[in-house]
Chain A
């Protein structure tokens, strides 16, 4: 089964760049890597998705090396409102056409003033 490994928690300060790395050694050839953000008492929210190299949107950047066995979510100049849990997901390579997204425990990011 595909599995992701992320740091349990991270601390940062306002204005800093935060990089959260996720390991996914068993990623399938056709799978994408997706990151979600979850605030307390809310459902997860899609942040960014990529397959290889680099993807950037208005919220974050996603860096994926050539072997795709890891990925790094980069949040530029974080603010207090970026305090949340960040989840890295890849598809389950054993699920056939109905690929399951396997959720880990995520990384709890605390942004301090």
Chain B
């Protein structure tokens, strides 16, 4: 257990569906992250939140919409996804947004878009 939980662990959705991924951290951290991990590709940083404010959006398509209601919770809202969006979506947190801070990852949500 890393102190970061993600739900659901697995998700299958059609291209017209709307779903949300949830992440919760119990570490008292101030920064939270969404990553995408596709097969045979490096982890891709999608979004960064620091003290509930979005500080980075790495050219992520608008069909992915993040939400951070407080420092402990992070959501990723999904709509009209494409099959190439199928991947492992990882949430992480760290004490702060500084580059040297250790990131603690959740187990991920395995997403399949049909």
Contacts and interface: CB of A to CB of B under 8 A. Distances in A.
Contacts of B97: 98
Contacts, number: 60
A43 B55 contact: no
B108 A43 contact: yes
B112 interface: no
Given A42-B108, A43-B106, A32 B100 contact: yes
A87 B41 CA distance: 13
Contact of B42 (A41, A98, A105): A105
A41 B104 CA distance: 15
Interface bracket on B: 20 to 34
A46 interface: yes
Interface in B71-94: 88, 90-92
Interface of A is mostly: loop
Interface residues of A, number: 23
A44 B97 CA distance: 18
Given A31-B100, A43-B4, A105-B40, A100 B106 contact: no
A49 B100 contact: yes
8 contacts: A43-B2, A98-B48, A99-B99, A100-B45, A102-B42, A103-B42, A105-B41, A105-B42
Interface of A: 31-32, 34, 41-46, 49, 87, 91-92, 95, 98-106
Given A43-B107, A91-B99, 14 more contacts: A32-B100, A34-B102, A41-B110, A42-B105, A43-B90, A43-B106, A43-B108, A99-B98, A100-B56, A100-B99, A101-B103, A103-B42, A103-B44, A105-B40
